[in-house]
Amino acid sequence: MKRDVVNIIGGGYAGGEAALTLANFGVEVHLFDCPRNDYPPLYVEENYDRLLEELKALGCLTADLINCNFLNLKSKIFEKLIENPNIMIFENEINEISLSEPTIIATGAHTSEKFFEQIESVIGKMRTHRHLPIFPQFSNNIKDLVYKDFYYLPVENTVISNISDFLKKFHSDNDCLENWAENGKELLKAKLFKPVCINGQILEHCLKFKLENDVLTLLNFHTEISGDDQVKLFNLIPQLKDVDIVRFGAIEKSTFVDPYIALNSSLQSNNNQNLFFAGEIILAKNELEAILTGHFAALNILNYIQGRKLVVLPQNTLVRKCIDKFFSFHSFKNDVNFKFYDIINSVNREKSIDLLKNFKEDFNARISRHYNLCSKKRW
């Protein structure tokens, strides 16, 4: 009987978790992009202990290595990967994807250009991105805001003309304000100052804001200009002149796949069933979320190579809600504003742990039955 083999490209938190999970089930793992013992320190926000508790109940092996000292996790993962006999590590750089072999892509935000071009060729350029916008935020004291699901700020046409003239001295190759202004005021209106109809009244040119935790986030504001220049730009808008700026806008240089349109809810590529994705390349920015996506991808690719249905995590658990978050509409734009504590109170702690323990036991039992049946077959 031919032994199952899975390729994993990327040796960070997601790739390491996926490799250890698969190896623990007896799968031979070929891990490319040498795992490092210099991962950045694990940062865990307040309340993330709840997610860590669920990851352990789910059976995530790297999460189980976390005790009190998070800083030791990087070396512990490295040691486990090196010593596992089912994991073969290849340090050479990967520039090409094998479409005929089951593979988990778990590279980071700075995936090499050549390899990212390969990803684009497989899943399509419209499903990938090379930068992530971070929207500016303001204190909640902007005058003249109009509310309808979101908050809108009407802006005069003359003000937009002044902003367009101001932006024309800047240049960017990315899809952002500077680029829009270069191509004319009408494009700037279409991208940023959009019309909205409220109570039957059409407001022709509006900025759009989202209110979260008493902070207003200015949406669709993509820019690479400096903070000082952003202050000058905001001062051109009378209602923003004296408002406190909580965070400037920016474009984070990164490469990532948009899960909402590129993957199914099991982290499998819509274009090629052999490919699964995990980690920072699908916007799992927090390390615990990266571990979760690595484990989830491993469980699903294990089911896939054994010809069984892909798994679905139990409802009413934090791990399920975190996975679902990646598949919200345009998640790549909203991720920077996602707050974990927004969902934590919607999950019962005791029930979620019981659900995940039962899920793990059922999954392990099915895998065990599969291998028992395979060992009894005559080949």
Let me know whether 174 and 280 are in one domain: no
Let me know whether 230 and 267 are in one domain: no
Cβ atoms 283, 259 nearer than 8 A: yes
Let me know whether 273 and 241 are in one domain: no
Ramachandran category for residue 22: left, alpha or beta (phi over 0 → left; psi -120 to 50 → alpha):
alpha
92-138 pLDDT, tens digit each: 777 778 888 999 999 987 788 788 888 888 888 767 777 778 899 99
DSSP classification of residue 3: P
- Measured in whole angstroms, the distance separating CA 300 from the mean position of its chain's CA atoms is 18
- Taking the C-alpha atoms of residue 331 and residue 375, their distance in angstroms, rounded to an integer, is 43
Let me know whether 289 and 372 are in one domain: yes
369-379 pLDDT, tens digit each: 776 655 443 33
Let me know whether 49 and 110 are in one domain: yes
- Taking the C-alpha atoms of residue 137 and residue 277, their distance in angstroms, rounded to an integer, is 31
CATH number of the CATH domain containing 89: 3.50.50.60
**Degrees to nearest 5, angle at CA 332 with 331 and 334:** 60
- The residue with greater pLDDT, 124 or 40, is 124
At residue 53, does pLDDT exceed 50? yes
- The residue with greater pLDDT, 373 or 287, is 287
Task: State the pLDDT at residue 353.
Answer: 95
At residue 335, does pLDDT exceed 70? no
Phi, psi of 163 (to 5 degrees): -65, -40
Domain ranges, residue 361? 5-132+253-376
Let me know whether 72 and 127 are in one domain: yes
Query: Tokens standing for 37?
Result: 């013992």
336-346 pLDDT, tens digit each: 445 566 677 78
Q: Report residue 225's pLDDT band, with 50, 70 and 90 as the boundaries.
A: very high
Phi, psi of 132 (to 5 degrees): -125, 120
Domains in the chain, number: 2
Task: State the pLDDT at residue 376.
Answer: 42
Span 159-175, average pLDDT: 90
Let me know whether 88 and 142 are in one domain: no
Three-state helix/strand/coil letters over 292-303: HHHHHHHHHHHH
- Taking the C-alpha atoms of residue 335 and residue 135, their distance in angstroms, rounded to an integer, is 11
Let me know whether 175 and 27 are in one domain: no
DSSP classification of residue 263: B
CATH number of the CATH domain containing 194: 2.40.30
pTM: 0.71
Let me know whether 241 and 265 are in one domain: no
Let me know whether 67 and 119 are in one domain: yes
Let me know whether 260 and 351 are in one domain: yes
Q: Which residues contact residue 150 at a Cβ distance below 8 angstroms, ignoring those fewer than 6 apart?
A: 208, 209, 210, 219
End position of a domain, from candidates 214, 248, 282: 248
Beta strands in 235-302 (DSSP E): 245-247, 250-257, 275-277
Query: Tokens standing for 203?
Result: 């407001």
End position of a domain, from candidates 192, 224, 248: 248
- Which amino acid is located at 46 in the chain? E
End position of a domain, from candidates 216, 248, 280: 248
Let me know whether 193 and 219 are in one domain: yes
